[in-house]
Amino acid sequence: MVWRTTLLMLFFGALVGALVALASTVMVGREERNRMQQHLAELMATVERTASIAAFARDEQLATEVARGLLLNDAVSRVVITEGNHVLAILGDEDTDTSGVMRLPVLTRPLNSPFAPEQQVGELRVWPAGSKIAQDAGAYSRFIAVILLVELMFVVLSVAWVVFNVFTRPVKKLSDDLHHLEIGEGAHVAVPNGHADDEIGRLAGDINALITRMDRVLDAERDARAQFESSERKFRLIFEGAETGIFTVDSGGRLHDWNPWLAAKLRLPEREGHERNYLLGDLLGDTSSRLDTLMVRALSDQRPTSADFGVQQHDESNVLWLHVVLNPLPDGLLQGIANDVTERKRAEARALAMAERDALTGLLNRRGMEHRLNNAIDALNGHGLALMLLDLDGFKQVNDTFGHEAGDRVLSSVARQLESVVRRTDLVTRLGGDEFVIVLCALESPDTARFIATKIVGTLARSIDVGDGQSVQIGASIGIAYTEAPGTRPDALMRRADEAMYAAKRAGKSQYRFAP
C-alpha cells in the first residue's frame, strides 16, 4: 500500500504537471505574440516622426537610417518605407519560417506630413521576425514549465512524504501487527508513535477492543464445543448401549439413523455404510398404514404419538411387540423410541384368555364367545354358520342327589365330549350353569349342523362317572339357528336358538330343533 500510494501520487502529479506545462506553453506563446506586437507597435511609434520627415522630404538616406535602426531589433525581419508609390527604403528579408507557429501579420503605419498632420505622405511597413519570436517564446515557456514542474514535484513529494509518515506508515504498521497477531493468546496491536490522540490511535484502540471481544467469544466457543463433545460422547454411549430402540425417520417413513438395539430387533445392518433405504412400516409389518397415520398426526399436532406394532419373527408363532413413540423434530423429521413390550402383550393375552375362559371347564365363557362370534359372522363369505344352544336335561337332579362336586364333574365331562365331537375351528362355550353354546363355522349346508346335533345328543345320553363308583345319565336339548348372512346380529341369532331349544324341551327333551 505504501508504494502504491506513493506511485499513484507521483503519477497523478506528473500527469497534472504535464498538462499544466502544455497549457502554460500555449498561453505563454499567445502572450508573447501579443507582447511582441505591442513592442513592435511602440517601436514604429518611436520612429514615426523621423520616417514622416524622410517621406515628406523624399530623403532616401534618412529613410534607410530609420529602417536600419528598426532592423537592430531581433523581432523585426524586414522594413519598407514608401512615399506614395515610391520606395524610399527597403531593408531585411521576409521571415522564412513556414511552420506557422508564430506567424504574425505585417504591421503597417501611415506617415503623415509633419506640417499638415491630416495629410498622408507615406507608409511604414514592418515584418515581424516570427522564427525569432517563436524561439524566444518557446524558451520562455519552457523556462516557465520547468519552474512549474519543479514546484509541482516538490509539492507532490512533500505531500507524499506527509502521507507516508502521517498516514500510510502507521496504517501499514497496524496491518503488519494484525497479520502476525496470534488470536486467543491475549496479544494486542501497538499504537503507532505520535498517534495516541488521533484517529489512528482510536482505530488501534478499537482493534484491541475487538480482539478482546473476539478472545472472549473464542473462549466461550471452546467451552461450548468441549461441553458439546462431552454431551455427544454421553449421548453416543446412551445411543449405543440403550436397551431400547432409538431412531430417526422422515415423513416418508424412511429410516435415517438407528441404534444397535433396534438393528438387532428388526434385523437391520449397522448404521455406518448401509446403502439401502429401509422403510419402517415394512420392518414393523404394518399393512394397514397405521404408521403413516401415526406420523401424520405427530407432524400435524406437533406432539408425541404412540402405538403398538406386532413384528412377525422367523417362528410364525412368535411375535415381537414394539411400543413406538414418535416425536416431531423442527426439520420435518421424527425421532422415534421403540420399547419391547412382548412380555406385557403376552401377559395381556393370558389375562384376556383367562377372562374369556370358564374356570371350571376351560371352555370359552360368554364374553369370549361374543368376541369370537362377531368375527365368525363377518367372515361368512358365502358359507353358513350354525349356533347351537344346549341345555342339559336332568342336571339339577345330579346336583341335588350327589352334590355340587359331582355336578362339576358332569360339566367337565360334557365339555370334553362336546370338544371331541366338533372341529378345532368351531367354538364351544359354557354360558353358565348347565347351558352351552356351540358355533359351527364355515358350513356348506345345514345338514352338517344336523349331523353334529344328532351326534351330540347320542354322546351326552351315555352314563357319566361322578366318583365313588357311581354314575349318572343326563341328556341335552339343543336349539339350532342357521344363517348365511354376514350382517346377522349375534343377539338375534341367540334368540332364535333359544326359542328352538325350548321347542326341543317341549317336544320331550334329549333332541334338537332348528329355528325357522
Which residues lie closer than 8 Å to 13 by C-beta, 6 or more apart? 152, 153, 155, 156
Pair 441, 385: CB distance under 8 Å: yes
**Cut 0.85: pTM above it:** no
Of 307, 325, 346, the position where a domain reaches its end is 346
pLDDT tens profile 95-133: 665 455 456 788 888 988 888 888 888 898 888 877 777
Same domain? For 317 and 463 the reply is: no
- Count of domains observed in the chain: 4
Any idea what the CATH number is for the domain that residue 369 is in? Answer: 3.30.70.270
pLDDT digits (tens, 9 = 90+) for 443-489: 999 999 999 999 999 999 999 999 888 999 999 999 999 999 888 99
Q: In terms of domains, do 266 and 374 share one? A: no
CA distance 389 to 496: 10
Same domain, 301 and 228: no
Q: Is 307 helix (H, G, I), strand (E, B) or coil?
A: strand
The boundaries of the domain holding residue 267 are 242-346
Regarding whether 384 and 333 lie in a shared domain, the answer is no
Strands 86-92 and 76-83: antiparallel
Nearest CA among 91, 82, 90, 92 for reference residue 58: 82
CATH number of the domain to which 329 belongs:
3.30.450.20
Residue 414 has pLDDT above 90, yes or no: yes
In a domain, 294, yes or no: yes
- Out of 346, 369, 398, pick the residue that ends a domain: 346
The answer to whether residue 472 is domain-embedded is yes
d(CA 380, CA 14): 110
Q: Mind listing the pLDDT tens digit for each residue in 19-68?
A: 776 777 777 767 777 787 788 888 888 888 888 888 888 888 888 888 88
| Pair 332, 308 in one domain | yes
Judge whether 403 lies within some domain: yes
Residues 52 and 113 in one domain: yes
Between CA 193 and CA 269 the distance in angstroms is 69
Instruction: Looking at the structure, tell me whether residues 509 and 395 fall in a common domain.
Output: yes
Query: Is 110 found in the same domain as 41?
Result: yes
Helix 366-378 and helix 490-506: axis angle, to 10°?
110
- Could you tell me if 142 and 188 lie in one domain? no
Domain end among 149, 165, 200: 149
Examine the domain organization and report whether 366 and 404 are in the same domain: yes
**Do residue 342 and residue 400 come from a single domain?**
no
Residue listed under C-alpha cell 346335533: 453
Residues written for the chain: 516
Question: CA torsion 22→23→24→26, rounded to 10°?
Answer: 90
Same-domain pairing of 285 and 297: yes
pLDDT at 184 over 70: no
